[in-house]
Amino acid sequence: MKKSLLTVLLALAAAASVYATDPGVTELENNSWFRYQAEMKKFDLGNADKSQFWLERGYVRMKRQFNTQLAAKTTMDILSSDACSDGASIRLKEAYVDFGTPVPDLTLTAGLQKHYFSLIYSWDYTNPEKSLADKEKVVASADYGLTANGFLPNGLGECQLGIYNGEGYKKTGKYVNKSPELAGNLRLTPVAGIQVGASVFYNKVDNVNYANGTTGKLSTDHKQWLLSDTGDVNRLGIAPMLKLSSGPVSLLGEFIAYDYTREFGYWPADSTSGHIDSNRVVSDKKYAQSGFSLVPVVTLLSRKLEINGRFDMWNVQVEGSDGSMVKDTLKSHMLYGLGFNYHFFRREKGKPGVELQLFWDREQATATSVDPKDVFMAQFRFEWMSSIKD
């Protein structure tokens, strides 16, 4: 009885500290990336498919630290976009509240927040390309959900458990399925300079939102009224990671395995005029994707210069008519590149302040009939943060 009473009192004390009225701090932060990018086939500089300047990112962050147990954060992303007539767009990237708990170093986070899978949530863009999971659209970098975030004792590492919508931060309302995504992540630092970890997510149903049969097209044999929309089920992703650091040299790597089944909905059809108003039929096809990414970095000139490389392999397999998995040589590819970052100014904890990034990479499809695509990138990152005390 005494032990139970003590537990209740400790919980009440923690709750009281969460809602204490201690003076707080408000942080304002801006991350802007002004980029030039050219894309072409086989180094054909005179015949580029894309050549433009634009604002890749314009994060405006506001964080309020109410006390040691309670904080809230909102991030808006202002970016160049042809989705709007004015050539720019704004979207919500983060909006969450952190709650302290009676357990030391354990925080509960509710709202639009980081997606704790693979390297996507800690990717710092030393290499200016997106992380592998983001680039291959395995998961979004942020999503709506609830997570528990903890640090292990003695600086051993960190862990997260979360439940998300599963469709990412750009999808809400009718685009969100009733089946949530479950995710878990663990990273360990057993000794200085070595970090190992793994993450996993599972989503039973992802955005299955079939139309009512009024959209789509007739199959070539005039027997099916095909729909343009599809849904993925039984999505499972697993991603072990490794980071090695020694002096000015580091190597970051991860492997991702991503399996799912895609459902295609259709109605039977009796002629070229349209579909029969009867029950929808669902067919499915299995997909398996996997690959790895390696990012070596060498830091020189008192951390002013970073030389970074990138090597990715990505393999896509699709279920064939006989049930076997067949490699999609158009979507399977290899990517490699080299870049240089120069820091004119670093802010607190070594974060970029004013930085110039130059990078080139080449993506080569497995299919030999496809020409390789080269991307040349030059980017200024200018970032700052200011704190305001009550």
Residue 10 resides in a domain: no
CA pair distance 332, 334, nearest whole angstrom: 7
Q: What are phi and psi of 321, to 5 degrees?
A: -65, -25
DSSP 345-383: EE-GGG-EEEEEEEEEEEEEESSTTSPPEEEEEEEEEEE
Residue 272 resides in a domain: yes
Which residues neighbour 94 within 8 Å (Cβ) at sequence distance 6 or greater?
A: 61, 73, 74, 75, 111, 112, 113, 114, 142
User: How many C-beta neighbours within 10 Å does residue 264 have?
Assistant: 16
- How does pLDDT run across 75-132, given as a tens digit for each residue? 999 999 988 889 999 999 999 999 999 999 999 999 999 999 999 999 999 999 999 9
Task: Tell me how many domains the chain contains.
Answer: 1
CA pair distance 310, 305, nearest whole angstrom: 17
- How does pLDDT run across 187-230, given as a tens digit for each residue? 999 999 999 999 999 999 886 554 444 455 555 665 555 555 56
For the purposes of burial, counting CB atoms within 10 Å of the CB of 155, is it exposed (0-12), middle (13-18) or buried (19 or more)? exposed
Residue 1 resides in a domain: no
CA distances to 65, 107, 228 from 87, in Å: 35, 39, 29
| Domain containing residue 163: CATH number | 2.40.160.10
- Read off the DSSP letter of residue 81: -
Residue 132 resides in a domain: yes
Tokens in use for 366? 């497995």
The one-letter code for the residue type at 286 is K
Answer yes or no: are the C-beta atoms of 57 and 89 closer than 8 Å: no
Residue 15 resides in a domain: no
Q: Which range of residues forms the domain containing residue 239?
A: 25-44+52-389
Q: Specify the 3-state DSSP secondary structure of 2.
A: helix
Residue 19 resides in a domain: no
End-to-end CA distance of the chain: 43
- How does pLDDT run across 333-368, given as a tens digit for each residue? 999 999 999 999 999 889 999 999 999 999 999 998
Across 84-115, b (16+ Cβ under 10 Å) vs e yields eeeeeeeeebbbbbbbbbeeeeebebebbbbb
Q: What are phi and psi of 155, to 5 degrees?
A: 65, 25
CA distances to 152, 177, 231, 246 from 117, in Å: 18, 20, 21, 25
Does residue 68 or residue 191 have the better pLDDT? 191
Angle at 340 between CA 136 and CA 371, to 5 degrees: 45
Residue 8 resides in a domain: no
Handedness of CA 108, 114, 116, 121 (dihedral sign): negative
Residue 308 resides in a domain: yes
Position 5 confidence tier, pLDDT thresholds 50, 70, 90: very low
